[in-house]
Structures are given as structure tokens and as C-alpha cells.
Structure 1
Amino acid sequence: MSVIEEERVRGAVFKDINAEDEDQQPTVIESLCMNCYENGSTRLLLTKIPFFKEIIISSFSCPHCNWTNTEIQSAGRIQEQGVLYTLQVKTKEDMNREVVKSDSASTRIPQLDFEIPAFTQKGSLSTIEGLLDRAVMGLEQDQPIRKATDPAVAEKIEEFIQRFKKLKEVEEEFTLIIDDPSGNSFIENPFAPQKDTALTVTHYKRTPEHNAALGIEVEEEENDEKPGNDLDAMRNEVLVFNTNCPECNAPANTNMKLVQIPHFKEVIIMATNCDSCGHRTNEVKSGGATEELGTRITLHLTDPSDMSRDLLKSETCSVLIPELEFELGMAALGGKFTTLEGLLKDIKDLIVSKNPFMCGDSSTADRAEKLELFGQKIDKIIAGEMDVHIILDDPAGNSYLQNVYAPDPDPEMKIEKYTRTFEQNEDLGLNDMKTEGSQMFFVGALLHQNPKTCD
């Protein structure tokens, strides 16, 4: 079977979730109950959550002992980066936050010195309260046996369970940390589109150990051939390489080109078009190194013509609109080379149209009304009916906003250079970067490319 035929079969198996679709019925399989060892039934549903990903939902029930179990398992692709969620739980309302936890995610509560390692639980779609209930259920499972065989250990575990139950009442603040190398876990921000001050989201590059645990094989490239160094030819050429569509995973082509932005630097533009589902993506990568200083660009919008300004947002850049109390973190939209109007439309689509918790049972009237109002404000900004400031904050210094008065200064735009904090260097991976001997390595690489330079 060819790759295209496999993707067509995959599309026929994973259908969009629809309560009115009578053909979308779960598959029922007779299974052994691990509680009473009688036969029960497992229902499997292979579906796609709108604006999220392909998942496998399984539900087991036993008619003999009435034991039930539900699981959710990701059937989609592993993300390019891992994700680390750190939530400060302060109120009982925080216990209602929705959580998507994949089976590769580890869960920690530092105040209790408690950790659920990765791959010890199946993936789940629940709330923070549900995660705590599941942990308590696991601790209580073998308590009767412990009380009979080792009363001292059973007593200590009982004390730990009582501390766990107190967390549900949020008598004191605690920290919940979910670390998922696959990038497929999620903690809800109930204040969206505003920034959640209690929630910190960090994306990171996986280590070889993470890749091995996820079953990803990283092939080492052999550099026997001399790398090309003709940048002029590369600037005039569009490179095409094979890839998979991020939406339907069908084979597609990605076009890549090196472009020089006036008064800035070179960037790499990549665009992918999928012939199977029509999905389009474009992404921008900086062609240079990380700058010594971070860059903060503040533009005061005074005229609708500002919407046509060219804009380069790197994947490390965050976007702020103080008047709306809105902040878009780094890596949320990836790298983009577009206009200011295009960036605002992408933000509106991400927050309002493509929000997975705006549809189905996850949606509430208050949340939908608040996000709809945010979308209307974005439309007013695009139409020039609101006086706001747009801030591009890039600790890597690789973002750009067009100065329409160039080479003269722009009276409505302020560009600040600043020294990165330790945390920003940590997010960029600069604290662990070793540069000792890099100059000799660079000279050795040049000599390897052209031995004649030895003269």
C-alpha cells in the first residue's frame, strides 16, 4: 500500500466528532475485567476533536462488579518541542481547569514531594480535581492489603492521602507541574485571551533520552560531502523538499527560500501546501544567530495604513496589546513573515475560531461571550477604530517591524535593546551552550572546505 493510500485509509478511520452522525458508532470489544476477572466490554471510538488532533477514546465497563475505566490516547503526531506547564493553584475555581494529559507526561506537586512518572498512567481528558482524584484512587487501591501485611507503611500512606484530599479544598496554595516531552498535553487558561498570571508555559527542545522514551529515532547525518557556500545562488533559488501535512499527515511539499529584509537581516521563509486537504502553512526562521541583546518594538497605531506594515515575528517573539490586557507567548503562532493586519487576524483565529474549548461540552456562555468580544475588538483595531499599542518582545532579537519612514526614525515606533534575564537565556537554551574552542572549530571547518587557504 502506498503512502497516499495509507493516508486515505487513515482519514476514513478517524472521522470528525459529530453527535448527529449515526454512522459514527464505537467499536465494542469483549475484554477481561482486571477487577473481578470476569468478561466486560470495551468501547473504542476513533475520532478527531475539531482544531485539536486525532484521538482514541476507550471506555470499559463490567456488568459483574460495576467497575468502569475511561482513557484517552493521542493518535496524532508528536510535536516538534516538549512542553512544561507550571500552575499555581490558589482557589477552588482552579480545580475546574480542563487538562489534557498524555501518557508520556509526568505530573509533579513539589509541596508533597509527589510525582507520577511518565508512561505509568494512560492519557486522560479531565480537570485538575480529576487528576487528584485519580492519584488518590491509585494510592487507596492496595491499602487493605498493606494494613494487613505492613500496618506502618499503610498508616504513612493514609496520612499522605489525607494531605492529598486537603489539596482539593485548596486550604493552601500548591504548584502543579505537567512535563510532556511529546508536547501533546495542555492546561486550560480560563482568562483567555488575557494572560494567565498563575500559569507558565515553557517549550523546550527534547533530549536524546526523551526521544528514546518516545520511540523517536534520530538519524545522524553524515557530512562527507563538502557543504555548499554559494549564498548568492541560494538566494535566487527556491528549495523544495518532501514532508507531511501537519493537519492530515498526507505527503506534501515544502518550499524554502532565503530572503533579505531591507534594513534588517536574512530570513528563511518556508511554505507548505497540501493537495489532499488544502491546508496551508507558512513559517519563518531567522537566517542569523541569536543577537547579543533582546529587542522590544512598540508601535502606536494611529492610522489604518499601519496595517500594511511588513512584520517578521520569530518563534521566540511574544506579542502584547496592553489596552486589551492581552499577551501571546512565544511559539504560540510560530515564526511568521506577514503584515500587521495578517498577524492580528491570525491572533483572532487562534483565540476565537480555532480554540478547541469553544465548541462542544467544553464551551460555556460566559467564555464564548468574552472571546467573541475580544474578536470584535481585534476587528476594530484592524479598522483603525481603536487607539492601541502593539508590542513585539523578542529576547533573541530576531523580530522586525517595518519603518515606513526609513532611513529616518519612525515617530510612532520605539525600538529598545535590553539584556536578557537568566530565565530568558534558559528558554533559548543559551545557558547550557558551550562555546569553548568554537573559534578553532570554525577555522578547522574552513580549512576542511578549502585546503588551499592553508597557504
Structure 2
Amino acid sequence: MSAIGTLDPVRGGGEATPALFRPLSAEDEEQLPTEIESLCMACHSNGVTRLLLTRIPFFKEIIVSSFACNRCGSTNSEIQSAGRIQDQGVCYMLTVRSKQDMNREVVKTDCATARVPELDFEIPAFSQKGALTTIEGLIERAIEGLKQDQPFRRETHPDVAEKIEEFICKLKRLKDVDSAFTFILDDPSGNSFVENPHAPQRDEALVVTHYRRTAQQAALLGIEAEESKEDLTDSVDDLRNEVLQFGTNCPECNAPASTNMKLVQIPHFKEVIIMATNCDACGHRTNEVKSGGAIEPLGTKITLHVTDPSDMTRDILKSETCRVEIPELEFELGMGALGGKFTTLEGLLKDIQTLVEKNPFTLGDSSTSDRAEKLCAFGRKLQQVVDGQLRIHFVLDDPAGNSYLQNVYAPEEDPEMQVEHYERQFEQNEELGLNDMKTEGYEADSSSQR
């Protein structure tokens, strides 16, 4: 496909308007692709590139491009994320045990790295265009790429060609899944995805990890590393009584918007920072909660036995490091999903229901009847919980200790709620970035440097 100019309407300071990215719909007659005459790199004649700017729930805005040459029949297609880079990178680790796992849908952006450690095989970042495919499709693309120059290698470097041919055979055996192997997709932009066919239930074969980008990864993405935050301890008293406001862009339509931020003291807990954004252009509203304190020495696990409809009115603070579990429904919401929330138990359950219903990889044309029925059944059970018809155990597991569930009997103990404090495991400290954090010996280091 010819090299056309990079389309990035999101980072243009509000250049993208809601009319540019229209929801994908067969009934929208105005949603037509833009056709651009382009040079075919195969036969050097003119072909046609079609661009479609659309919005889907998971990716926000994307650009779908397709090239076709009528003379030689060469075709090419790719997707580009037109939405914002996520706050954290994401790493998916999947244990592939069957051919059904090879059919899992995968969204791989051009900045993502795919690896198979058993073969010491890696598809580096920016070596392939973004694609919506399957695990088998990614391996097939790698095989085709290795085969491309094999005739030339056999004539000039037969030893190298023989080794590459042996490696291609190993990749082909991966598609047959003769033995289990590990597939890792690491995307510092946070915009890649690996399908969970068991949603909304937990996938035992898939591990999803969110992490902070390094300065090198931020530079590769073309963004500046985060600057150190100002010390707010000197002005805490003023901030408690003041609503701060700063400019930002709407996460839906990218129009200029304002975000309000305020420190709030939660009774019998700690201070938190509540941020709310309201877009006047498209009406989108969002809110997020950040912990106002440090990471606690111990993790916290809160278990509530929901026995009465009045439990739905309990205040709840779910930090971005908190996992949510409902054992009776075999449901688990991982760390980072839904972000930080300060709401009621009913509000959080409805947010979970909305998150499951709007997942495009479990609905639509690619969905099966069994999967759709499981989702409907899960939604009905959640609604029964909200209506007080189903008793469950609601679990908040926060290794950072910054989540909270209201005790309606405070300061006495709540007979239906159990609070456990536990020592974090090494993996949990790794996710929180604590293993490499040094907090002792600064005075000694500074004096020795003098």
C-alpha cells in the first residue's frame, strides 16, 4: 500500500469533531469511505485506497484502510487507532492449549510486540501494521513474511535459508497445537486486546497485566514522560475547600472540555481525589476517583454478604488497583477495569452490567448463540442482585489497601461484612511497582555524593 500521510485527528487539539467518527452502522447512508488514488507498490500503477473513520465501543475511534489494485490484484488492509493512548500499557499472556485458542480474536496495534517464548520468537513493535485478526492469523502473517525472501536466500546464503525453513516448520507446528505454548502480546499504548471467550467469567488461561510505561516506551510512542507531580502537602487545607479545574479533551469526541477535581474526606477512611469531566459538545460525562494517600503497608480484602435490598445503598470506593469478585456468579473484574469509582453498590453493579453488555467481542456478528445466552443470563442475575432477589457475597480485593465499603453500623462492627488485611505477594508488589522502589537511605546517599 502506498505511503499516505499519517492521519492523526485526535492529537490536533480538538481538530476531530463528532461528525468525523460516526458509529459503525449499516443504516447510516452518509457513512461512506473516502477514496484516494494511490500508487501500487507491486506493479507501480494506480490503485485505490479506501479510508473509513468510525467508532466502536472498545477502540473508541479507529481508521480502517483498504487498498486494491485492479491491474495486478494486489490488496492490503490495516487498522489504526485514532483514539488517545491509554494511561497504562497492557500485557496479555495466554496459554494456548487447543485449536479453539488459536481462533481467539486479537487486536494488535502497530506498536505492540507479540512473543512466543518457547520458540524464542518475537514480532517486534512497528514491524507490522495494526490488524484485527486471530492468533493463528498472526502466526500465518509471520510465516508469509519469512517466506518472502527465501528464493533469494537459497541462492546467496543457503545455510541461512535452511535455518529459516526449519523455523518456519516450527511455526507451522504451532498452528496444529501439538503441545501447549505461551502467547504474549505487550502493548505500551494499551490499545491491544486478546479475546476472552468465557466472558463475563474469568479466563484461567489468560492473564492481563496493566503497567506504567517506561521513559523509553513513552519516547517510542511519541509522547513525553510524565513529569514529577508537585508536592501538595503544603496546601492541603486550601485544597479541601477548593474545586480545581483544568482543561482536557473529551475521551469520546475529543472536543475541549473541563475537568473538576476536589479533595474529599470519607468518614472512617481517608482522603480521596474525585475528578469529573463534562463535555458540552457531545454530553459525555465521566468521573474517576484517585486515592489521596499512600499505598498501605498491607492489602485489604472486604467481603460483604448481601442479604437485604438496603445493602445496595452502601457507599463504595473502588480504586483502580482493586479487583471485584462475585463467587456465586463466577465473576471477577480485574485490576484497572472501570478505573477508580466512588459510588454505591448498586451503581457499581450497573456499571459492571453496562461494561459486559457493550463488549463488542461478545456481541454482534462474531458472537455465538451460546455466548449471547450466557451474557443474557449473567445480566439477569445481576439485575436480581440489584432488586434484592438474589443473595451474594461481594468481594473487594485491593492489594494497595485503598478501597472502601461503607459500614452502616460504624463505629461498631458490621455483622455482614468481613475486613481482612494481608501481606502482599511478590507478584502483587510487582504490579504496584513496589519491588524496585527505594525509600530508605536517601540522606546517606546524598551525603556521600557531597
- Cα drift, residue 322 of structure 1: 0.4
Say if 1:285 and 1:219 are closer, same or farther in 2 by CA, change over 3 A: closer
- 2:156 counterpart of 1:152: no
Q: How does 1:286-435 map to 2 (within 5 A)?
A: 286-352=291-357, 354-435=358-439
- Cα drift, residue 97 of structure 1: 0.8
- 2:284 counterpart of 1:279: yes
C-alpha distance in 1 between matches for 2:285 and 2:324: 23
Say if 1:51 and 1:87 are closer, same or farther in 2 by CA, change over 3 A: closer
On the 8 A contact 1:243/1:254 being kept in 2, the answer is yes
On the 8 A contact 2:18/2:282 being kept in 1, the answer is no
Give the residue type in structure 2 aligned to 1:197. Answer: E
C-alpha distance in 1 between matches for 2:339 and 2:439: 27
On the 8 A contact 1:52/1:356 being kept in 2, the answer is no
- Cα drift, residue 316 of structure 1: 0.3
SS of residue in 2 equivalent to 1:196: coil
Aligned position for 2:247: 242
Aligned position for 2:7: none
- Pick from 157, 169, 173 the counterpart of residue 162 of structure 1: 169
Say if 1:386 and 1:431 are closer, same or farther in 2 by CA, change over 3 A: same
Say if 1:26 and 1:299 are closer, same or farther in 2 by CA, change over 3 A: same
Give the residue type in structure 1 aligned to 2:416. Answer: E
Q: TM-score, normalised by structure 2?
A: 0.93
Q: How does 1:56-75 map to 2 (within 5 A)?
A: 56-75=63-82
- Cα drift, residue 8 of structure 1: 6.8
Aligned position for 1:183: 190
C-alpha distance in 2 between matches for 1:202 and 1:176: 14
Deviations 1:306-327 (A, max 9, x none): 1111111100000000011100
C-alpha distance in 2 between matches for 1:342 and 1:117: 41
Aligned position for 1:210: 217
C-alpha distance in 1 between matches for 2:139 and 2:229: 48
Aligned position for 1:110: 117
SS of residue in 1 equivalent to 2:28: coil
Give the residue type in structure 2 aligned to 1:15. Answer: R
- Cα drift, residue 185 of structure 1: 0.4
Give the residue type in structure 1 aligned to 2:288. Answer: E
Say if 1:254 and 1:134 are closer, same or farther in 2 by CA, change over 3 A: same
C-alpha distance in 1 between matches for 2:143 and 2:400: 43
Say if 1:312 and 1:440 are closer, same or farther in 2 by CA, change over 3 A: farther
SS of residue in 2 equivalent to 1:231: helix
C-alpha distance in 1 between matches for 2:443 and 2:325: 38
- Cα drift, residue 182 of structure 1: 0.5
Structure 1 alignment gaps of length 5 or more: 443-455
- Cα drift, residue 359 of structure 1: 4.3
Aligned length: 437
C-alpha distance in 2 between matches for 1:198 and 1:349: 25
- Pick from 265, 274, 285 the counterpart of residue 269 of structure 1: 274
C-alpha distance in 1 between matches for 2:36 and 2:336: 41
- Pick from 21, 27, 37 the counterpart of residue 28 of structure 2: 21
SS of residue in 2 equivalent to 1:408: coil
SS of residue in 2 equivalent to 1:13: coil
C-alpha distance in 2 between matches for 1:236 and 1:441: 39
On the 8 A contact 2:300/2:398 being kept in 1, the answer is yes
On the 8 A contact 1:403/1:409 being kept in 2, the answer is yes
On the 8 A contact 2:109/2:191 being kept in 1, the answer is yes
Q: How does 1:135-150 map to 2 (within 5 A)?
A: 135-150=142-157
On the 8 A contact 1:17/1:50 being kept in 2, the answer is no
Deviations 1:151-192 (A, max 9, x none): 111111111111111111111111111111110100111100
- Cα drift, residue 230 of structure 1: 3.6
Give the residue type in structure 1 aligned to 2:313. Answer: S
- 2:64 counterpart of 1:54: no
C-alpha distance in 2 between matches for 1:420 and 1:51: 32
C-alpha distance in 1 between matches for 2:272 and 2:16: 38
Structure 2 alignment gaps of length 5 or more: 1-9
SS of residue in 2 equivalent to 1:420: coil
On the 8 A contact 2:91/2:186 being kept in 1, the answer is yes
C-alpha distance in 1 between matches for 2:211 and 2:203: 20
C-alpha distance in 2 between matches for 1:158 and 1:63: 33
On the 8 A contact 1:107/1:179 being kept in 2, the answer is yes
> Which structure has greater helix proportion?
1
C-alpha distance in 1 between matches for 2:282 and 2:262: 24
- Cα drift, residue 240 of structure 1: 1.3
